[in-house]
Amino acid sequence: MKHAIEIDSLDYSYADGTEALCKLSLRVAPGECVGLLGSNGSGKSTLLLHLNGILPERHGKGGPVRINGQVLHQGNLDWIRQQVGLLFQDPDDQLFCATVGEDVAFGPTQLGLPQEEVDRRVKAALAQVGLLGYERRAPQHLSQGEKRRACLAGVLSCQPSILALDEPTSGLDPRSRREFKSILRDVPATKLVASHDLELILEFCPRSIILDNGRIVAEGATFELMADEELMLAHGLERPHMLDHMMQNDVLPWSPTLRPPSP
């Protein structure tokens, strides 16, 4: 089967020699939604940046990164960046244009699409995130939730088949968080979600990976990983309280075959 994301024993260290990723292998099927768990500095963001070929200086080292079956290399970066949409942690970093409209148009324009197609995509992307009519607004006048949605529109306008989301709900108030999640749910793409928001991961991702110090230390059904208190604590995480609530009410995410371990 052709994987959406296929990484074989990827190594990466920063310029100062700090090892960020170590022998990391990962396979994600098309349409799958995978959670990335791990404490701060465990390499989640670095891994996401790799999907897009953004850390190019050393990406010849270690195993190749394959996106939709194609090996990522300097020659196909444009195609890769169209395929993989990256949502950054701080919306202010991502919204660098003067207006929301310009920002959403940035990707399609850089891909060299004709103007009518760019306009059409901007409109579609803004409609998808519920920000139609915001084209001329300046990013600094948006609320945090609107900023986040504008960022997502900028990513969606490239029509990616894979979304790499870095802390998509951080800094949002409950209402914006709910709105953002409901938008995200409707995007039909393969998703890789890095977050400390365990509720979000539990809700979106049937499968998860725990990273620690740039290595994959556990991989499996999100529910089972999170229920393993010892494992979670050992890697700077914790077992979410709502698991108990879910077990009590017999609410099970995603798969009726998955049963919580009996207490």
Question: CA 82 to CA 243: how far, in whole Å?
Answer: 37
Residue-wise burial string across 9-18, b where 16 or more C-beta atoms lie within 10 A, e elsewhere: ebebbeeeee
5-13 and 65-67: which strand pairing? antiparallel
Quick check: 138 binds another protein (CB under 8 A)?
yes
Quick check: 230 binds another protein (CB under 8 A)?
no
Question: CA 37 to CA 42: how far, in whole Å?
Answer: 9
Residue-wise burial string across 130-159, b where 16 or more C-beta atoms lie within 10 A, e elsewhere: ebeebbeeebeebeebbbbbbbbbbbbbbb
Q: Measured from the CB atom, is 15 or 230 closer to another protein?
A: 15
Question: Taking the complex as a whole, how short is the minimal distance between the CB of residue 183 and another protein, in angstroms?
Answer: 6
Quick check: 86 binds another protein (CB under 8 A)?
yes
Quick check: 146 binds another protein (CB under 8 A)?
yes
Question: Taking the complex as a whole, how short is the minimal distance between the CB of residue 237 and another protein, in angstroms?
Answer: 19
Q: Which of 23, 58, 61, 141 binds another protein (CB under 8 A)?
A: 141
Quick check: 78 binds another protein (CB under 8 A)?
yes
Quick check: 106 binds another protein (CB under 8 A)?
yes
Quick check: 107 binds another protein (CB under 8 A)?
yes
Quick check: 12 binds another protein (CB under 8 A)?
no
**Which tokens is 166 given?**
């870095």
Interface size with another protein, residues (CB under 8 A):
56
Task: Give the bridge partners for 67, in sequence order.
Answer: 5, 70
Q: 112: buried, middle or exposed (CB in 10 Å: 19+, 13-18, 0-12)?
A: exposed
The CB density around residue 180, as the number of other CB atoms within 10 Å, is 20
Site for another protein, residues 21 to 50, rule: CB under 8 A: 33, 49
Q: 128: buried, middle or exposed (CB in 10 Å: 19+, 13-18, 0-12)?
A: middle
Site for another protein, residues 166 to 225, rule: CB under 8 A: 178-179, 181-183, 185, 199, 203-204, 206
What is the contact surface with another protein in residues (CB under 8 A)? 16, 33, 49, 52, 54, 77-78, 81-82, 85-86, 88, 90, 92-99, 106-107, 110-111, 129-130, 132-134, 138-143, 146, 154-155, 158, 178-179, 181-183, 185, 199, 203-204, 206, 242, 246, 251-254
